[in-house]
């Protein structure tokens, strides 16, 4: 019977005509293997390289690698909902990210939007700036390791970017920084966050693992880490809730405790607040830390780019304390291009965000698909699609700026080139389920990177192997030394780059 079932999935299923790995057509174990291995994002890219624009990656699942599909799947009028993949993320209550019901999501997002309004961002900026200042102090701190020319000890920037992102999220979410930048004993939570994210990915990839709670048997260390993370986040929420909204702190929870949905008059319950706090810690810290680490990785390997972006920042600002979110920082367009290009090459969410087709079906890339089909566009794959990004593995910030000369192709970037690139760019997803914290992430990244470039000269650590690099001879997708390697945990795990700092003469 199992053989007949397998044969039916291969030859008689409604998706039988779509190419893909044979095992993937029969069982989700194919996906589970790559989820556990940490290179699910690369396997989606490899499958599209082998099979083309549309790939069957599961018994009832199709992956599409095009900007048209990206819009048709994730757009505002798409006849889809989040797939049961997201059920593994729900504990103790659904949050804005993992809730599958569209009306519930809309209500949650309306409430959450109060914490991400322009006025809220302005009020919270001082917490971001204070933590960025501490970050820069730590990078240039005299730990006795500077050489005769003033270069610091090599620093693993994954660690420091993680510390910064978590300290900012602590300040914004729970009324206090976690002080990871300054206190090594406070850094244990990073491992818990990674364990929780990895567990969610594995259980989402094979939902029966979550439904039967057998992750505790199959992956005991990971499940235990996730449980400790949940306890940690609950403790942080409990402390912040005690402050209530009768405080002069204008952080996320000040706004969330006061916020009400204008349509229903409802705010968030305590379990919902816990759910949102879990989301803020994992999603809020990972995107910014990964993007910052990736940007630094590519900058120190592309010295002409590093020189230009450093000059841009130092031309726009007279002193470090002037570097805050606003029109001047916003006019640093090359800095923004450097960040966007790093997020294109090494997106923090590189895999697929699965959607389930609703009753009535959907047409994607001209293909009519029935209700119940799981569809998606993997971020890493589309970010390396040369229809949208010529020389897709080259770090070229100029591709985002019309009128700039692309140093690889030698031709000027046109408005159409930029539009084509933007149509396939989705590090924060797109449409109604796109990341509500996108604006905050850019504030954090531009502020931190601009201040770092203003205060310090940067270079690749001399004589040190960088764990962030690919290696010649490794498997397909891990073989490029010039690419910042990530491990797919639904979000991402990383290591490196190794960077040295020297205080700038004018600073």
Answer whether residue 399 is part of any domain: no
- The answer to whether the CB of 335 falls within 8 A of the CB of 449 is yes
Q: Is residue 136 annotated as involved in ligand binding?
A: no
Phi/psi for 197 (5° steps) reads: -65, -45
Answer whether residue 336 is part of any domain: yes
- The answer to whether the CB of 267 falls within 8 A of the CB of 111 is yes
pLDDT value at position 68? 98
Contacts of 128 (CB under 8 A, 6+ apart): 168, 171, 172, 325, 443, 444, 447
Q: How many domains does the chain have?
A: 1
Query: Between the CA of residue 91 and those of 84, 88, 271, 427, what are the distances in Å?
Result: 14, 8, 9, 25
Tokens standing for 20? 């893909």
- Going residue by residue through the chain, which has 507 residues, state the pLDDT in tens, using 9 for 90 and above: 344 465 666 776 899 999 999 999 999 999 999 999 999 999 999 999 999 999 999 999 999 999 999 999 999 999 999 999 988 876 656 788 788 888 888 888 888 888 888 888 888 899 999 999 999 999 987 665 667 688 999 999 999 999 999 999 888 887 777 899 999 888 888 887 888 788 889 989 988 888 888 877 877 877 777 777 777 777 877 877 777 666 677 778 788 777 788 888 878 887 787 778 777 777 778 899 999 999 999 999 999 999 999 999 999 999 999 999 999 999 999 999 999 999 999 999 999 999 999 999 999 999 999 999 999 999 999 999 999 999 999 999 999 999 999 999 999 999 999 999 999 999 999 999 899 889 999 999 999 999 999 999 999 999 999 999 999 999 999 999 999 999 999 999 999 999 999 999 866
Query: Is the sign of the CA dihedral 255, 92, 128, 325 positive or negative?
Result: negative
Full domain range(s) for residue 309: 2-385+424-503
Answer whether residue 294 is part of any domain: yes
Answer whether residue 402 is part of any domain: no
Answer whether residue 178 is part of any domain: yes
Query: Between the CA of residue 365 and those of 69, 121, 140, 430, what are the distances in Å?
Result: 6, 39, 51, 18
Answer whether residue 393 is part of any domain: no
pLDDT value at position 408? 95
CATH number of 231's domain = 1.10.630.10
- The answer to whether the CB of 383 falls within 8 A of the CB of 349 is no
Answer whether residue 327 is part of any domain: yes
Tokens standing for 284? 């809020």
Phi/psi for 246 (5° steps) reads: -90, 70
Answer whether residue 312 is part of any domain: yes
The helix-helix angle for 415-423 and 67-74 (nearest 10°) equals 50
Query: Between the CA of residue 235 and those of 149, 232, 242, 494, what are the distances in Å?
Result: 46, 5, 11, 27
pTM for the predicted model, two decimal places: 0.93
């Amino acid at each position: 019977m199992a053989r007949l079932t397998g044969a039916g999935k291969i030859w008689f299923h409604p998706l039988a005509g779509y190419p893909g790995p044979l095992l993937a057509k029969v069982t989700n174990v194919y996906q589970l293997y790559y989820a556990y291995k940490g290179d699910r994002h690369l396997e989606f890219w490899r499958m599209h390289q082998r099979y083309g624009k549309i790939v069957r990656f599961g018994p009832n699942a199709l992956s599409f690698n095009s900007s048209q599909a990206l819009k048709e799947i994730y757009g505002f009028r798409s006849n889809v909902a989040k797939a049961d993949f997201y059920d593994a993320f729900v504990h103790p209550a659904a949050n804005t990210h993992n809730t599958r019901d569209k009306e519930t999501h809309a209500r949650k997002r309306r409430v959450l939007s109060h914490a991400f309004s322009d006025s809220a961002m302005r009020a919270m900026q001082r917490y971001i700036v204070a933590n960025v200042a501490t970050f820069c102090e730590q990078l240039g701190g005299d730990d006795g390791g500077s050489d005769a020319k003033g270069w610091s000890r090599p620093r693993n920037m994954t660690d420091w970017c993680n510390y910064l992102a978590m300290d900012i999220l602590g300040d914004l979410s729970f009324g206090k920084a976690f002080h990871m930048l300054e206190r090594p004993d406070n850094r244990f939570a990073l491992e818990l966050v990674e364990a929780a994210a990895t567990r969610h990915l594995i259980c989402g990839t094979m939902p029966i693992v979550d439904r039967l709670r057998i992750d505790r048997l199959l992956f005991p260390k990971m499940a235990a880490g996730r449980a400790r993370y949940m306890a940690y986040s609950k403790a942080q929420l409990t402390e912040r809730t005690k402050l209530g909204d009768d405080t002069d702190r204008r952080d996320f929870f000040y706004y969330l405790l006061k916020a009400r949905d204008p349509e229903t008059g409802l705010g968030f319950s305590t379990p919902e607040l816990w759910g949102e706090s879990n989301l803020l810690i994992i999603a809020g810290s990972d995107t910014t830390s990964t993007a910052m680490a990736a940007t630094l990785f590519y900058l120190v390997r592309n010295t002409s780019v590093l020189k230009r972006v450093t000059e841009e920042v130092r031309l726009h600002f007279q002193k470090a304390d002037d570097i805050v979110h606003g029109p001047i920082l916003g006019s640093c367009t090359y800095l923004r291009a450097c960040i966007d290009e790093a997020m294109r090459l090494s997106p923090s969410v590189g895999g697929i965000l699965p959607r389930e087709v609703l009753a009535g079906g959907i047409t994607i890339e001209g293909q009519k698909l029935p209700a119940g089909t799981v569809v998606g566009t993997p971020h890493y794959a589309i970010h390396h699609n040369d229809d949208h990004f010529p020389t897709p593995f080259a770090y070229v910030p100029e591709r985002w700026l019309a009128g700039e000369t692309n140093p690889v192709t030698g031709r000027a970037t046109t408005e159409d080139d930029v539009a084509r690139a933007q149509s396939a760019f989705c590090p924060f997803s797109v449409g109604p389920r796109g990341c509500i914290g996108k604006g905050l992430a850019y504030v954090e990244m531009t502020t931190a990177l601009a201040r770092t470039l203003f205060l310090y000269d940067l270079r690749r650590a001399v004589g040190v192997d960088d764990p962030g690099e690919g290696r010649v001879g490794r498997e397909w997708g891990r073989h490029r030394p010039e690419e910042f390697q990530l491990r797919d945990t639904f979000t991402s795990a990383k290591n490196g780059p190794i960077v040295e700092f020297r205080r700038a003469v004018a600073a």
